[in-house]
Amino acid sequence: MMNKQELINQIKQKKSFLCIGLDTDIEKIPQHLLNVEDPIFEFNKQIIDATKDLCVAYKPNVAFYESMGAKGWESLQKTIDYIPNDIFTIADAKRGDIGNTSKMYANAFFNTMNFDSITVAPYMGEDSVTPFLEFKNKWVILLALTSNKGADDFQFFTNGEEKLFEKVLKQSKKWGDDQSLMYVVGATRPQMFAEIRTIVPNSFLLVPGVGAQGGSLAEVCKYGMNKDCGLLVNSSRGIIYADNDGNFAEAARKSALQIQKEMAILLGEIL
């Protein structure tokens, strides 16, 4: 359980706001791992061992685990249990349903699996989101402006006064605050960060899309960083699949270190 100040302290201590996405695909991990009892967990374990001093968060994408059935859920639980307690954990599950269902989702990820946070889709409105916010010392990371091409289909819809993603940001401030709510904002639209910061100036933003999807870390920081940093920038494929042989963990560390060094420079301007 990590509160906002503890997360800020970790960022200052490690000079990093790197989140590593554990989007672990059985078809992409090194072949030699397939001989062990739990290849997914063994891969994650070695990635964590190699990078835990360079990042402040890990974000398993739940789809990669639930696609494997019960064994996948077991690998995910073992992974969460293995992550050090001072590193923020994000269940990238994108849940959100009617109240009773959301409460069960929240209980599953917060209590049963002990994640610090979960990504939530806001489309169904307040009563689909607030059950997640009822769990003390846990975080909701609300989808606001995503980095995928299809984001243009709905998120920029306007009624003439505000875009839909702006409505999400403004409305959600009635449900929680910057101690319990974060937002997903894609790195591929860096200039939108300045507009977003006028609405949620003090909130943390989870930023996918740097690296493989073409987003620029420098641009994201230019428009989106606040006095406390306020960013968790995610990299998945660019780190965990930096190499596909026996040296995959060493390659992951090298890739993560390169990002962390750039982050340290950017943080030096505010902290």
Active site residues: 94
Helix (H) / strand (E) element for 133: namely helix 126-133
3-state class of 56 per DSSP?
Answer: coil
Tokens of 30: 């090194």
Is the sign of the CA dihedral 54, 208, 218, 194 positive or negative? negative
Residue 67 is classified by DSSP as: T
Distance CA 38, CA 26 (A): 10
Q: Residue 16 in contact with residue 54, Cβ under 8 Å?
A: yes
Please name the residues in contact with 32: beta carbons below 8 A apart, sequence gap of 6 or more.
246
* Three-class SS of 15-51: CCCEEEEECCCCCCCCHHHHHCCCHHHHHHHHHHHHH
- Could you identify the residue written with the tokens 């209590």? 111
Distance CA 131, CA 87 (A): 24
Helix (H) / strand (E) element for 81: namely helix 70-82
Q: Residue 223 in contact with residue 194, Cβ under 8 Å?
A: yes
- Could you identify the residue written with the tokens 């030699």? 32
Q: Residue 145 in contact with residue 215, Cβ under 8 Å?
A: no
